[in-house]
Structure 1
């Protein structure tokens, strides 16, 4: 009897272990309580990545050779069979009591087995203050979109803190080296030291615990997290402090950069081993390590690049002989001299901007005649820079580049796709398109795909909505070949005022490529359909975003009229148009307050919630405010080139930051028209006070988004478009 009880207990415990080891059930329950009972999940072996949709009685069967592929199949079913799309603006859904049946078994497979996610910048422009609840949603988003190889950069500062302490640095010195939460990405990429810090002890405790949860969930799904590796970065004073042979790069946008430990230094292997030992103790080993020596470094003539590549690779291989070095293909990196003597399979290159400036394949300003030579690589979409807000895409170019590359007889080293955006939670259409490409073997038209996308996103087919999105797909989402702009068409409301405002950030390389009145037409069509979609979360998010874009485009037109009035000495028209511009800016602020995704209060709330004391909350809020405005100190803001790089067309900051700059500027021009001498404006003196404030902003939606959108649109454009 006792033996039977023990055997039964053992069987039950094993069954419980198997059940708990299946992460798909938890995923389904987070989507909708009770959803797991409506699906049958079957994990099977397969030579290629695949998922299948089938049915068993009234349940939907989803098969796949990994949990990630099964989750991808679930989302495919929800989108194209049930009209339910899970997106950053909504990761929950109400499933019908009886799911629509799969009428015919459906299979999708792919040879592109690596699907990468994240840029180091994403961790600072979007994620610096996320907690576990938000990270859990993001990991769910990843598996539903087929991602199996995400960069896992949370907590890397914990590894560095421990390593530096062991090397003999004291706590104060460590804190002078490691950047604050909103600037960790550029510290990790060897661009700056210390800016935004010092971090309190509680920050390291928080991030260590958070990364452990993130990695645990990623590994449960069978993902292969990419951990930051060691490529030679050391503090700028490591020559004096540790007696190391280092190279000191030039300043980066006004910031002192970390130094680069020469690979020929006798202690390179020792320090690299110490780094990996501390990382393994905290977060375990990985099959992929991300390292980007010489990132935006310019002249690297003082470094033996071949020796550097060998030293970095050897240090990684000592930790895990099976590991692969992941490196970003960006500007002059990876240096050909660095990778020439590395073996195929040991290096994986992320072609960071494949939809616009690929280094392999079609002509581009960055094309390399020999591509990445013997090394494996990933076709990536960057799309967003700085986390800027704006509709933008290269639908035709993305499709053409992808299929030309994928089917090229010389593309034998293409291993997958990647999402390498600097900021996320925007332009969901482009990310849906990109994530589906591996599962669609044959090229397709954007027109046919768009119709199915809209059914998936809104749950029904609607000619008016299709007409609106077709306008957008053929204009603002059709950035053409030869246009190399970085990210969306920037809102003029966010620019530092001048007589020749065009792009907001100094790096955007904007060019006009679409008729700005088209977004007004699309917004009008969306408003016409809006009452049919009340309560539809995806539609309401898109409605606000499209009306926002239309107002931003109109703002650019009114700006140019106002400048023309000034140059024509037309005082009456100048007064009217300058006031119209300011009024539109405030209308935009009101509109964006109806969705939390477009509110500076949510960003600041995330920052303050990361702190455990008032002092910590204030530090993190300062990080959050500075990053999206001045980025740095006066020198950086006025001369360094990063001011407004991460600008946000958001509720709250529009009226309290951008409005003040424009009101002051128009006033100086009005004074000149009234015969007074030109008065220079010290913009940094206006900007810095906002970064130091702690005034509260709402973090939750204010008002009915459809009614407010209709009201604001009428105020800006006239109810009949007059």
Structure 2
């Protein structure tokens, strides 16, 4: 009996080791319990990245030379053989009892071996309050989409806290330097200090624990994390506190910026070594480190960029002689003088906005005639700014710019692709397209690709849905060359009201590039077939998103009409059209309430969940509310122009925040038409109370999305 028990224990141990050694089985079980028994996973050595789909009896075989490539092959199978699309709005699915067979072996290869993910901004605009459950899904998403090189910035504030305490800063001084949860990205990028804090001790403990879980799962997949490195940032008062030779930059949109150490300072090496030492104690070493010195820094004439670049590289190499410095290609960065004397292979540049403003050498307002010269780089898609909601893409331009790299001498050092969005969980079609590019060596058209995307996305083939996507692909998803707007066509609902409303945020650079009536046409086609696909999660998500866009576009037309009414002194038409505008806004709110992804309660509840005490919950909720509205205090919001940069067309905030502004504004104009004196609204005074409020918002959907989509389209079409 004892012998049988020992054998059983041994068998269980062996099975456990095998499960741990194969992360794809764990991924499959998270997708659908029991799914791992339907596949054969084979890890094969190869000098070239590849995946294969094959058949062995009733089981589908997925081979690859890395677990990430195997996961990519699995995703390819699920999309194009089984009609199952896993993405942010759904990472689980019911697989068929008998999987569709692979009738002919499929092999995909790529020379683009590095596939990067994340912008520092993503960590605040989308991921500020993610817990392990959400992060586990994201790491699975990364593996399924071929990502093997993500920025791993969770917990960097823990490293800084430990370092500054050892440098003699008190805890309260550290907390005045490190930003709050929703603003850590801009602290990390040297833009601001302290805003959103002070963070409680529990925050640092939670983040350390979370990062260790993240890194453990990445290691299981073979994903290489990119750690934030040290490039000279230091608190702005380090000259007084530590006697350092620092440069104090000018304000950033009203915020005090951190200072930076001149690389020639005698203590530069000491502080950099301390930073890496504390990082290593918490999270170990990495093969890639991300550093963006002088990010969006003007008046940097006094900086010795060559010395700074060498100092950053030297300190990183002391930690790991094989490490690579990852730097963003954005505006002036990386300064040519900073990288000209660095060796090939030591630097990896993210061409951050390749689908619109590539720097690597093809026509663009940011074109660099010699590209990145001797340095390796990645072709990246930015796609979204501020986490704004809106259908958007540059399909033709993305495909054109990407395939121009083929045989182009300026692309000789291209090593892969990158996703560098400021906000995630939007426009899944663009991310699917981007992530497939390394595996498609021959250029193709968006029209060819979309027919299969419709099947992958919904598991069906429907002429009306294909027609919908073709309309969108040739309009709102095809922002043309020469249009340099930053992200989606912003919703008219989300900007501070004026007589000249166009863009909601200060820097969007919006230009009209599509007929707004076509989104109504496309959304109406989706509504026509909606009852057939009731319960199809991806279809219902897209239905709500497309109808939302149609309502927004119609509201912009109504806004322009209402302004014309006012300027024509047409009181009756003004009353009618301003009422219609507000009705569209409230309809939008109700429609978006039918999906948790479009509810402000999801964002706020994520924030509150991080807190352990009522005070912590309130701090995190305040962070969440401020970021998506005023962004900063009055000075930063009004004079700095940061207000509404991260605006969200979400249920809850539409009726309680944006409706408040618009209804008050229309009333002031109506009063003027009625002969009353003009009143100038103090928007910040109207907005701040919402940022301080604690009224509850829930995450649970309310209402039938299909029935509300029908009502919304009817309201739009009954113009």
Q: Give TM-score scaled by structure 1 length.
A: 0.98
Q: CA deviation at 1:299?
A: 1.9
Q: Secondary structure at the match of 1:380?
A: strand
Call closer, same or farther: CA 1:682–1:9 in 2, change over 3 Å.
Answer: closer
Q: 1:366 to 1:253 in 2, by over 3 A?
A: same
1:469 Cα deviation after fit: 0.8
Q: Distance in 2 between matches of 1:3 and 1:74?
A: 40
Structure 1 segments (4+ residues) deviating >6 Å: 1-12
Contact residue 361 and residue 370 of structure 2 kept, 8 A? no
Matches within 5 A, 1:254-403: 254-403=254-403
Secondary structure (helix, strand or coil) at the match of 1:485 reads: coil
Task: Trace 1:254-653 onto structure 2 (pairs within 5 A).
Answer: 254-653=254-653
Number of the residue aligned with 2:167: 167
Aligned counterpart, 1:70: 70
Which one is further off, 407-416 or 665-674? Answer: 407-416
Counterpart-to-counterpart distance in 1, 2:706 and 2:415: 44
Distance 2:424 2:417 in 1: 17
Q: 1:112 is matched with which residue? A: 112
Query: Unaligned 5+ residue runs, structure 2?
Result: none
With over 3 angstroms needed to count, the CA separation of the structure-2 counterparts of 1:617 and 1:4, relative to structure 1, is: closer
Structure 2 CA distance for aligned equivalents of residues 398 and 430 of structure 1: 9
2-side partners of 1:563 and 1:408: how far apart?
Answer: 50
Q: Which residue of 2 aligns with 1:693?
A: 693
CA distance in 1, matches of 2:676, 2:7: 94
1:5 Cα deviation (Å)? 10
Describe how 1:138-217 pairs up with structure 2 within 5 A: 138-217=138-217
CA contact (8 A) 1:395 1:430 kept: yes
Residue 712 of structure 1 deviates from its aligned partner by: 2.1
Q: Distance in 2 between matches of 1:212 and 1:657?
A: 38
Question: Quick one: distance in 1 between partners of 2:410 and 2:127?
Answer: 37
C-alpha deviation, 1:28, in angstroms: 0.2
CA distance in 2, matches of 1:526, 1:443: 29
Alignment of 1:223-238 (within 5 A): 223-238=223-238
User: Greater CA deviation, 618-627 or 300-309?
Assistant: 300-309
Q: Check conservation: 1:178, 1:197, Cα contact below 8 A.
A: yes
Alpha-carbon distance in structure 1 between the residues aligned to 2:137 and 2:359: 33
8 Å CA contact 2:630, 2:688 repeated in 1: yes
Q: Distance in 2 between matches of 1:517 and 1:614?
A: 47
> What CA distance in whole angstroms lies between the structure 2 residues aligned with 1:714 and 1:494?
23
- Name the SS for the 1:510 alignment partner: coil
Deviation at 1:47, TM superposition (A): 1.1
> SS at 1:601's partner residue?
helix
2-structure distance, mates of 1:134, 1:315:
34
Structure-1 separation of matches of 2:410 and 2:519: 40
Helix, strand or coil for the counterpart of 1:406? coil
| Offset of residue 704 of structure 1 | 1.2
Equivalent residues, number: 719
Indicate if the aligned counterparts of 1:395 and 1:477 stay in contact, CA closer than 8 A.
Answer: yes
Structure 1: 5+ residue stretches without partners: none
Aligned-residue Cα RMSD (Å) equals 1.4
Aligned to 1:657: 657
Alignment partner, residue 132 of structure 1: 132
Once the two structures are TM-superposed, the CA of residue 97 in structure 1 deviates from its matched residue by: 0.3
Partners of 1:14 and 1:320 in 2: CA distance: 35
1:13 CA displacement:
4.2
> Residue 249 of structure 2 aligns to a residue in which SS?
coil
Indicate conservation of the 8 Å contact 2:371/2:410, yes or no: no
Q: Which moved more, 1:8-17 or 1:182-191?
A: 8-17
The SS at the match of 2:650 is coil
What is the alpha-carbon distance in structure 2 between the residues aligned to residue 295 and residue 12 of structure 1? Answer: 53
Task: Tell me how far apart the structure 2 counterparts of residues 8 and 458 of structure 1 sit (CA, whole Å).
Answer: 44
Contact in 1 for aligned 2:370/2:410 (Cα 8 Å) = no
C-alpha distance in 2 between matches for 1:409 and 1:241: 50
Q: Give the TM-score taking structure 2 as reference length.
A: 0.99
1:676, distance to aligned residue in structure 2 (A): 1.2
